[in-house]
Amino acid sequence: MRIGLLLSLPALLTAAQPAAVDMSLVTRDGFTLKGTLSIPAQAGRRPVVILAHSFGADRTGWKFLVDDLNARGIATLALDLRGHGQSTRKGGDTVAVTTDFAASSAAVRFDLIPSDLAQAAQWVRRQPRIDGRRLGLAGASVGAYSALVAAPEVRPVAVLALSPAGGWGEKPEARMVRAAEQAKASVFVAAAEDDAHALANAQALKGVFGVYARIRPGKEHGLAYLPSLTDTLGGWFGEILGRHPVAVPSKAAPMKVPAEDAK
């Protein structure tokens, strides 16, 4: 695996503002993925959240949540998923998504995004100032589905899934639920009543231990939940990742229901 940091971490970490470091890694099938690692200025090793955006978007769509998490002392690794943003080089070729989801999924291999997230987790856990024991995943739409599927291998403490959708292969819903069960992480799922695919996935996840599924009126999807839910989502990550770290999560952390939903 070839990995390149475009800026020096030690030089940037002296600043009061979060250190934003451009990074790249090459996937097992040859895609060069680009991303930004942002590390808060607070002393000590920081928890981290890996961010996987929705179809047709890029890593800049997470700005509100990145800023909120960094302010809470949580680092972030925002990736451009394969075929999106700056992650369109595969070997010597350009392979990018179009507006056609099915065709893009086949051309870019969306089914390999969970593997990409696992590779990114391996990378970020080796970085200075990162506490890899306190790692979270966050995804929107296909990024949310991918984060859930990747969770058993990544072993995150927490997973945020905004409108999980866009699965692949046979029985994609069952694959997602099985992965959530195996991951044994705290999971926050958000879906809208008029977003049929995401709603069905959210309802399927409700029975999994450690999952909190929030169903909202309307038809918001994926990154559209930001910035209105940013403070709630950032606070949830802060609560889960701020706990005393454990080497390997042996069971799902007890769910913290967002304050506005607590009865």
Q: What is the per-residue pLDDT for 6?
A: 42
**pLDDT averaged over 10-residue windows placed end to end, the chain, 263 residues:** 43 62 96 98 95 98 97 97 98 96 97 98 96 97 98 98 95 97 97 98 96 96 96 96 53 40 39
Strands 158-162 and 93-94 turn out to be unpaired
Q: What is the per-residue pLDDT for 12?
A: 39
Q: How many residues does the chain have?
A: 263
| Calpha distance 35→81 (Å, rounded) | 9
Q: What is the per-residue pLDDT for 18?
A: 87
Look up the pTM and report it.
0.87
| Calpha distance 139→179 (Å, rounded) | 15
Contact 136, 49 (CB under 8 A): yes
Helix, strand or coil for residue 213?
Answer: strand
Q: What is the per-residue pLDDT for 17?
A: 84
**Hey, where are the domains in the chain?**
3-261
| Calpha distance 101→56 (Å, rounded) | 9
Strands 130-140 and 158-162 turn out to be parallel
H or E segment and range at residue 190? strand 186-192
Q: Which two tokens stand for residue 193?
A: 């009543």
Q: Tell me the CATH class for 3-261.
A: alpha beta
Q: What is the per-residue pLDDT for 16?
A: 60
DSSP 14-52: TSSSPEEEEEEEE-TTSEEEEEEEEE-SSSS-EEEEEEE
Q: Which two tokens stand for residue 114?
A: 């969970």
Which residues are within 8 A (CB) of 23 and not within 5 positions of it... i.e. 6 or more apart?
Answer: 3, 4, 5, 6, 34, 35, 36, 37, 77, 123
